[in-house]
Amino acid sequence: MLLNPNQLTRKYPDARSGEIMAATVDFFESRGKARLKADDHARVWYSDFLDHIGRERIFASLLTPSEYGASADCRWDTYRISEFAEIVGFYGLNYWYPFQVTALGLGPIWMSDNEDAKRKAAAQLEQGEVFAFGLSEQAHGADVYQTDMILTPSEHGWTASGEKYYIGNANVARMVSTFGKIGETDEYVFFVADSQHDRYELKKNVVNSQNYVANYGLREYPVTQADILHRGPGAFHAALNTVNVCKYNLGWGAVGMCTHAMYEAVTHAANRHLYGTVVTDFSHVRRLLTDAYARLIAMKLVATRGSDYMRSASADDRRYLLYSPLTKAKITSEGERVITALWDVIAAKGVEKDTIFEAMAREIGLLPRLEGTVHINIGLLAKFMPNYLFAPDGELPLIGRRDEAVDDSFLFNQGPTGGLGKVRFHDWRAPFDGFAQLPNVALLREQIDVLAEMLTSATPDALQQKDIDFAFGVGQLFATVPYAQLILEEAPLSGVDDALIDEIFAVLVRDFNSYAVELADKRATTDAQAGFAMRMIRRPVFDQSRYDQVWKEHVLPINGAYQMRP
Ligand SMILES: Cc1cc2nc3c(=O)[nH]c(=O)nc-3n(C[C@H](O)[C@H](O)[C@H](O)COP(=O)(O)OP(=O)(O)OC[C@H]3O[C@@H](n4cnc5c(N)ncnc54)[C@H](O)[C@@H]3O)c2cc1C
């Protein structure tokens, strides 16, 4: 179930996709762990990695829509992008990040009507250039409605002045997609800026890492019509639509990071003897590792299934708008829990400088906080809750595995971002019905039924819905439902055995309990709602033989199964 770089198993309809993954693994394994660690500690800019990406045409293949591709292997295909994100995450956030911000930077370009800019971007991808996404500003953070990057009319178009903050790759990218406003008309605008232009001031790297996360300023930077990607409301939609597409990759980054940490942690614990016993024989260590494994497999199942909905997206099927922030908010937070559990097992080893683990522990917390915090994304999910829970649409097509070699062209043609409350979903109960015989799946179903009852009988009032703290309490409970639904949909596609599914659901039942207690504790929660929250609590079913099976067949075999080349 876990990515093992020595045995890549994903099947692709073409040879090139598998070659991209193998070449990427080979790059890291040939350099070896010592070099990976040394570069991380010395915060070395990864020009060798970017050279490899350019030489092998990896971003050109993965991130150019076929219409603009120089060769037949170019397409934007979420199925293969997702495995690439997992692989680079496996070797560290430092390598996942330049990929991610390149994808983000390309978003407003591929969504634009500016054909020359698109052709230029395609040519730059072929030359091995990376891209950057200049949305955030120091003063405005998550408030993307505000921008102090202002375009003022000039002889040849405009001049842009202002600053951007937290912008990855903005030290080298030749096309930095930059968000601002045309001062004269108060219109939003997305335009491209060249980091090598003399009116582009690279002020500093705001982070202490291999990544360059820039603060840059434009000082009366000349902008012509040829540089404009979007103008008016379309510019704002392009910003949000780009984030919709790319935040999905954050989940895969977390899956990759946790997978590598898991290999190290299990191998360490299974070979350490204390007080005459192997560390993995301590009952709490078994529990921690089994939970971490169950959480990690759940993360992977959700991310894998999410790809099918990203790829099936259309104007009539916008289910991806729920699954993308879900991937982002839940999977990345689960990643933090996995790392914490593994750290409790390996203790001091987790800070040793030669381990992969210490880097993952240092970096895993970034993912839940990028591209909207967990609170923002869970808040977003709540918009879908009424239709998702109470108004299933039987007309929506059943989606199978989407691994065909085609472009996900709708992702660059999503249209306006509004109307989230109108998005419809298929019936979440169907996959639950298919696994009703598993005791913990049945228990979670009971818990969700009480949540639905609470929402209809003790419906949060307008004031509560505006209270982000309260809404987050409800949102955490709700997010568990599509998360569980995607796990159950993916389980048969990935061939997961019943013991493991039930173990995963035992964890979900426990999580649901803790979210219910949290909701009951909130000041804004009414007595009636708190009563429902208490009624949601269930004791997960413990089955010794299931627990032993997961331990013996899934967790223990991780011992020694993979080690990065020295
Ligand atoms: C290493 C790194 C790399 C980055 N790379 C890029 C990049 O390449 N390009 C780019 O454009 N940006 C980038 N960012 C910016 C990142 O996306 C922002 O950090 C993020 O959007 C949140 O802004 P903030 O961190 O300033 O938080 P703030 O805006 O200061 O948020 C503070 C608090 O307010 C809450 N909050 C804000 N708005 C809402 C809301 N509507 N509902 C509920 N809660 C809310 C947040 O949850 C948070 O708790 C990067 C950031 C980092 C740290």
Whichever domain contains 69, its CATH number is 1.10.540.10
Atom number of ligand 1 nearest to Cα 100: 8
Q: Is 324 in the pocket of ligand 1 (CB under 6 A)?
A: no
135 close to ligand 1 (CB < 6 Angstrom): yes
Confidence at residue 372, expressed as pLDDT on a 0 to 100 scale: 85
Domain-terminating residue out of 82, 108, 130: 130
Output the pLDDT for position 416.
86
Q: Is 448 in the pocket of ligand 1 (CB under 6 A)?
A: no
Q: Is the CB of 468 under 6 A from ligand 1?
A: yes
Give the residue ranges of DSSP H helices in 312-438: 320-326, 332-346, 357-363, 374-382, 385-390, 429-434
The count of structural domains within the chain is 3
Residue 371 CA to ligand 1 centre (angstroms):
6
The answer to the question of residue 352 being in a domain is: no
pLDDT of residue 147: 97
What is each CA distance from 118 to 5, 377, 435, 460, in whole angstroms? 34, 30, 47, 47
Task: Classify residue 303: in a domain, yes or no.
Answer: no
Measured CA to CA, the distance from residue 111 to residue 566 in angstroms comes to 43
What number is the average pLDDT over the span 111-126? 98
For ligand 1, atom 3, the nearest C-alpha belongs to 166
DSSP secondary structure letters along 447-500: HHHHHHHHHHHS---HHHHH-HHHHHHHHHHHHHHHHHHHHHHHHHHHT--HHH
pLDDT tens figures, 52-66: 999 999 999 999 999
Q: What is the band of 418 on the pLDDT scale with cuts at 50, 70, 90?
A: confident
Check pocket membership of 144 for ligand 1, CB cut-off 6 A. Answer: no
Same domain, 45 and 175: no
Please say if the pLDDT value at position 396 is more than 90.
Answer: yes
Residue 533 and residue 388 share a domain: yes
The end-to-end CA distance of the chain, in Å, is 24
Query: 433 is in which domain, residue-wise?
Result: 380-393+427-543
pLDDT > 90: percent of the chain: 97
139 pocket-lining for ligand 1 (C-beta < 6 Å):
no
Does 101 sit in the ligand 1 pocket, CB within 6 Å? yes
User: Is 226 touching ligand 1 by the criterion CB < 6 Å?
Assistant: no
The model's pLDDT over 291-324, given as tens digits with 9 standing for 90+, comes to 999 999 999 999 999 999 999 999 999 999 999 9
Mutate to test the pocket of ligand 1, among 106, 240, 376 (most ligand atoms within 8 A of CB): 376
Which helix (H) or strand (E) covers residue 302, if one does?
helix 283-311
Q: Which range has the worst mean pLDDT, 206-215, 265-274, 408-417, 500-509?
A: 408-417
Same domain, 187 and 50: no
User: With a 6 A CB cut-off, is 375 part of the ligand 1 pocket?
Assistant: yes
Does a structural domain hold residue 90? yes
Arithmetic mean of pLDDT over the chain: 97
Identify the pLDDT of residue 371.
85
- In a domain? residue 317: no
The pTM score is 0.98
Name the residue of 102, 135, 136, 466 whose CB sits within 8 Å of the most ligand 1 atoms, as the mutation to test its pocket. 136
Last residue within a domain, chosen from 231, 253, 269: 231
> Cα of 374 to ligand 1 centre, how many Å?
10
Element (H, E) at 158: strand 157-168
In ligand 1, which atom is closest to the CA atom of 135?
11
Q: Is residue 453 scored above 90 in pLDDT?
A: yes
Residue 417 banded pLDDT, cuts 50, 70, 90:
confident
Q: Please check whether residues 52 and 137 belong to one and the same domain.
A: no
Q: 323: closest CA among 409, 232, 226, 420? A: 420
Could you tell me which residues are beta bridge partners of residue 193?
176
Does the CB atom of residue 136 touch ligand 1 within 6 A? yes
Whether 423 and 319 have beta carbons less than 8 Å apart is answered as: yes
Domain boundary among 231, 252, 275: 231
CA-to-CA dists, residue 171 to 48, 174, 197, 294, 530, angstroms: 16, 9, 11, 40, 51
Q: Residue 285: inside a domain, yes or no?
A: no
Pocket of ligand 1 contains residue 402 by CB under 6 Å: no
CA distance 390 to 455: 10
The reply to whether 121 and 150 lie within a common domain is no
Provide mean pLDDT across the span 100-125. Answer: 98
389 shares a domain with 516: yes
Q: Which atom of ligand 1 is nearest to the CA of 168?
A: 8
pLDDT tier, 415 (very low <50, low <70, confident <90, very high otherwise): confident
Instruction: Spell out a b/e string for 376-394, using b for 16 or more CB atoms within 10 Å of the CB, else e.
Output: ebbbbbbbbbebbbeebee
Residues 112, 213, single domain; the answer is no
Distance 138 CA to ligand 1 centre (A): 10
The reply to whether 118 and 171 lie within a common domain is no
Confidence label for 222 from pLDDT (cuts 50, 70 and 90): very high
C-alpha of residue 472 to centroid of ligand 1, in Å: 17
Output the residue whose Cα is nearest ligand 1's atom 4: 166
CA distance 484 to 505: 8
On whether both 118 and 146 belong to a single domain, the answer is no
246 Cα to the center of ligand 1, angstroms: 15
